């Protein structure tokens, strides 16, 4: 199938065109990713993610080169990103294993446990909306405007509740500064 026709069909939600593209390019793309990653499972995962994103964002695709070039470049970029991420992880793991300067005592562990208990208690004492906003921001990494949209409240309300939550934590953890 012509690449432009195939791309147009995929943009219009034609699952058959997408499946045909997937079947024809999945093996060579996996082979390409395998050369970069030296791990067949990771290579397949990368290629599957690229195809998933292609289908998910099909309506918004702006491909100026060929579809094949786009897919190979996407696999290349994701593979390199993963390699870089693994290098950072390994560097950090080596640093932690080789750094004996920070030896934690039983007292440090007990203090960490105490701090965690204070955190849990303070969190449970926050008003429901304030607690929910704090958790959405800190536990799930949502930005204030995302929280405001999800809860149908203003960004100023989110800011005010986060301020209340942080003030409560500063007060309850003041002795551990």
* Contact status, residue 125 vs residue 169, Cβ threshold 8 Å: no
Give pLDDT, residue 146: 93
State whether 57 and 119 are in the same domain: no
Residue identified by tokens 């786009």 is: 70
CB atoms within 10 A of CB 54: 20
The three-point CA angle 28-34-36 to 5° equals 115
Residue 32's closest CA among 79, 85, 81? Answer: 79
pLDDT at 96 (0 to 100): 63
Identify the CATH number of the domain in which residue 111 sits: 1.10.10.10
What is the span of the domain harbouring residue 172? 106-176
* Phi, psi angles (nearest 5°) of residue 38: 55, 35
| Close Cβ partners of 154 (under 8 Å, ≥ 6 residues apart) | 148
Distance, in Å, from the CA atom of 30 to the CA atom of 44, rounded to the nearest integer, reads: 6
Kindly give the confidence (pLDDT) of every residue in the chain, 177 residues in length, as a single tens digit, with 9 standing for 90 and above: 577 788 888 888 999 999 999 999 999 999 999 999 998 999 999 999 999 999 998 888 788 778 888 999 999 999 999 888 888 887 877 766 666 555 666 777 677 788 888 889 999 999 999 999 999 998 888 999 999 999 999 999 999 999 999 999 999 988 876
Contact 133, 172 (CB under 8 A): no
Tokens describing residue 154: 């203003």
Question: What's the total number of domains in the chain?
Answer: 2
Query: Is the domain of 110 the same as that of 87?
Result: no
Quote the strand ranges of the chain, DSSP E. Answer: none
What pLDDT shows up at residue 115?
85
41 and 65 belong to one structural domain: yes
| Domain end marker among 47, 80, 98 | 98
Burial of 173 (0-12, 13-18, 19+ CB in 10 A): middle
CATH number of the domain that residue 24 is part of? 1.10.1740.10
Which pair of tokens denotes residue 109? 């562990």
pLDDT at 6: 82
């Amino acid at each position: 199938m012509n690449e432009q026709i195939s791309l147009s069909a995929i943009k219009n939600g034609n699952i058959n065109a997408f499946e045909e593209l997937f079947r024809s390019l999945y093996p060579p793309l996996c082979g390409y990713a395998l050369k970069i990653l030296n791990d067949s499972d990771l290579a397949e995962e990368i290629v599957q993610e690229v195809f998933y994103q292609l289908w998910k964002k099909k309506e918004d695709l702006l491909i100026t080169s060929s579809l094949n070039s786009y897919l190979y470049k996407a696999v290349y970029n994701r593979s390199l990103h993963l390699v870089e991420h693994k290098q950072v992880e390994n560097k950090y793991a080596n640093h932690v294993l080789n750094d004996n300067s920070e030896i934690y005592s039983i007292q440090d562990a007990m203090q960490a446990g105490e701090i965690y208990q204070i955190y849990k208690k303070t969190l449970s004492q926050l008003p429901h909306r304030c607690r929910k906003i704090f958790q959405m921001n800190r536990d799930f990494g949502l930005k204030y405007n995302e929280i405001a949209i999800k809860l149908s409240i203003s960004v100023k309300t989110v800011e005010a509740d986060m301020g209340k939550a942080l003030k409560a934590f500063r007060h309850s953890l003041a002795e551990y500064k």
